[in-house]
């Protein structure tokens, strides 16, 4: 598997890996270790998005990237909502290492207003929702433009989610496939 770790040093991004904390929709840490992995091909187009954002004096903050299949089951068992979560029997682009959840931040590290928080499972989170403020619409469209120009596809229900166009071509990844485990030891 061609999976690499994404760090501030390798990709000049900030991290707030929500599933390694209690600040996610399950209210419990899903990951035991806050490690960010992506497939090498996804990491390369992430680097392009970083360069495009930098040209606008913006940076990227990552909330999630590779999500081991075991984590997808934890999320699905908590909230089996196919509008916002992939059924783990089919597999998620996250569980293939080719999806990323992120936002834009300014040079001071402040998140730009996107109208909702990350993982707000409501119609207000949909791309093109004009019920959020004009500033939030502008910021979402800026993120959308940067990411699609870099080569990412978007998911219409989540302003924060981007994936490779051919995401189903990649195999599912379990925690045991990784060089360092993300999941808690359930033994």
- Pick the catalytic residue: 22, 41, 111, 158? 158
pLDDT (average), residues 96-117: 98
Model confidence at 187: pLDDT above 50: no
Range 122-131, long-range pairs (CB < 8 A, 24+ positions)? 125/84, 125/157, 125/158, 125/159, 125/160, 126/156, 126/157, 126/158, 126/159, 127/154, 127/156, 127/157, 127/158, 127/159, 128/156
Q: What is the rounded CA–CA span in Å between residue 108 and residue 76? A: 35
- Distances, alpha carbon 78 to alpha carbons 30, 62, 101, in Å: 11, 22, 19
pTM above 0.75, yes or no: yes
56-to-72, 113, 162 alpha-carbon distances in Å: 34, 16, 20
CATH of 3-177, one of 3.30.1380.10, 3.10.180.10, 3.40.309.10, 3.30.465.10: 3.30.1380.10
Domain boundaries, the chain: 3-177
Task: Provide the pLDDT confidence category of residue 186 given band limits of 50, 70 and 90.
Answer: low
41 a catalytic residue? no
pLDDT at position 20 over 70: yes
Average pLDDT over residues 136-165: 98
């Amino acid at each position: 598997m061609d999976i690499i770790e994404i760090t501030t040093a390798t990709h000049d991004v900030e991290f707030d890996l929500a599933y390694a904390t209690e600040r996610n929709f399950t209210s419990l840490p899903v990951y035991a270790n806050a490690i960010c992995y992506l497939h090498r091909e996804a990491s390369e187009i992430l680097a392009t998005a970083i360069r495009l954002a930098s040209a606008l004096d913006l940076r990227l903050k990552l909330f999630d990237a590779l999500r081991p299949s075991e984590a997808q089951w934890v999320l699905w068992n908590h909230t089996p909502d196919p509008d916002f979560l992939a059924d783990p029997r089919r597999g998620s682009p996250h569980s293939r290492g080719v999806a990323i959840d992120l936002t834009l931040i300014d040079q001071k590290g402040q998140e730009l207003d996107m109208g909702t928080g990350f993982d707000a499972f409501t119609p207000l989170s949909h791309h093109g929702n004009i019920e959020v403020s004009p500033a939030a619409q502008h910021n979402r469209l800026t993120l959308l433009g940067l990411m699609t120009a870099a080569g990412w596809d978007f998911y219409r229900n989540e302003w924060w989610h981007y994936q490779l166009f051919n995401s189903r071509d990649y195999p599912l990844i379990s925690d045991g496939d990784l060089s360092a485990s993300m999941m808690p030891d359930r033994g």
